Amino acid sequence: MPGLMEKLGLKPGVIYGDDVYNLFKYARETGFAIPAINVTSSSTAAAALEGARDSKAPIILQVSNGGAAFFAGKGISNDGQKASVAGAVAAAHYIRSIAPVYGIPVVLHTDHCAKKLLPWLDGMMDADEAFFKEHGVPLFSSHMIDLSEESVDENISTTAKYLKRAAPWKQWLEMEIGITGGEEDGVNNEDVDNNSLYTQPEDIWQIQQALSPISRYFSIAAGFGNVHGVYQPGNVKLQPDLLAKHQAFVAEKLGGDEKKPVFFVFHGGSGSSVDDFRTAIGHGVVKVNLDTDLQWAYLSGHRDYITSKIEYLKTQVGNPDGPGKPNKKFYDPRVWVREGEKTMKARVQQALDDFKATNTL
């Protein structure tokens, strides 16, 4: 039975425009979602790519503002978003270069961009525009603009402005309505009113009305109680069935045959239950953000290796096998960094299973 690459005519590597649209549409129709993995280095990117390849699934790789600055190097000043722009562009070129070798379709995305970070998005879109003029595609498959802390009108009007810029390149734009709680990458929403975590169907329809005439290449991260990070059981009350109400509201307004006309995104996926994931996916979620769980997975491999080999890591020469035995083969970064990649890869594969994306290629 042909998989999605044959059905959609996708080639390995980073995909753009209609290929991104068709992938998300196929995911929505067939009932799976694609994990969006925050990467901060070539190592974390390789771990995610390897996991998706071995699970025969597409993957979304994304960089956050802080992750992009880290990719550039912490020794670079981020005045004027200089490091975050340079790091995001460097990550994009690296992923574009290496992704085809893994034989899978990859969506290259950037994560939350709040109002104060818009110069970062401007700089990346400048790079997109320059790349498009030379290659016929933007540098990034998609970006995310997050003005959920602003008024609904400002959120939508500003998002529309950026979508107009992206439209000639057929670049996807993800936006957020309804605040995601918790803390991530320096943005702290741990004390927001719980009512702010739940989006109303009228807001979804207002977005659809404003953005659809500009471009069809957009998705909505609607709040249904989502929280960044991992917390004690019972602290997070997700209501993914709200997405069904949003879909029905928009479908009725549109009056067509499409029962799920909206592309939804699930933010704050770490720590959520498989039932919540699959319920949300059934209501049109095509992308699920995972970061905290992947950070823990990456650390776990390093931690377990170092604790198990600690007697070989205290000196360059001398270990339990003898006072003159060298330890280079134990402290070589290619050894212990690889252990983190293995555990991160396994967590990516678990997510692909949870989201029903495994063996879709």
Give the 3-state secondary structure of residue 218.
strand
CB 207 within 8 A of CB 222: no
CA 1 from chain center: how many Å? 29
Residues with a catalytic annotation lie at: 111
Q: How far, in Å, CA of 266 to CA of 270, rounded?
A: 10
Radius of gyration, alpha carbons of the chain: 21
Structure tokens belonging to residue 95: 């992923």
Helices (H), the chain: 4-8, 17-30, 42-54, 65-72, 82-102, 118-135, 152-166, 201-211, 242-254, 274-282, 292-308, 328-331, 333-354
Distance, CA of 128 to CA of 126 (rounded, Å): 5
| Residue type present at position 155 | N
d(CA 244, CA 302): 41
Q: Which two tokens stand for residue 101?
A: 């070798």
